Amino acid sequence: MRHKISVIGRPSGVSNPGLAALLRRTVKTALAAQGMTLPCEINILLTDDAGIQEVNRDMRDLDRPTDVLSFPMFDLTPPQLPEEGDADPDSGCVPLGDMCISVERARAQAEEYGHSFQREICYLAVHSVLHLLGYDHLDEGPMKRQMRQREEAIMALLDLKREETK
Say yes or no to pLDDT of 164 above 70.
no
* Degrees, nearest 5: CA angle 95-5-156: 105
Residue 104 lies in a domain: yes
Give the Å distances, CA to CA, from 91 to 18, 60, 86. Answer: 26, 29, 11
- Percent helix, strand, coil in the chain, to 5, is 45, 15, 40
Residue 151 lies in a domain: yes
pTM score, two decimals? Answer: 0.93
- 60 contacts 71 by C-beta, under 8 angstroms: no
DSSP line for 40-64: EEEEEEEE-HHHHHHHHHHHHS--S
* CATH number of residue 13's parent domain: 3.40.390.30
Residue 162 lies in a domain: no
Residue 150 lies in a domain: yes
Q: Residues 64-110: pLDDT tens digits? A: 999 999 999 999 999 899 999 999 999 999 999 999 999 999 999 99
Residue 31 lies in a domain: yes
- Quick one: average pLDDT of 115-127? 96
In terms of residue numbers, what domain contains 26? 4-157
Residue 82 lies in a domain: yes
Sign of CA dihedral 14, 19, 24, 30: negative
Residue 145 lies in a domain: yes
Q: Residues 26-65: pLDDT tens digits? A: 999 999 999 999 999 999 999 999 999 999 999 999 999 9
Residue 124 lies in a domain: yes
Task: Specify the number of domains making up the chain.
Answer: 1
Radius of gyration of the chain (CA): 15
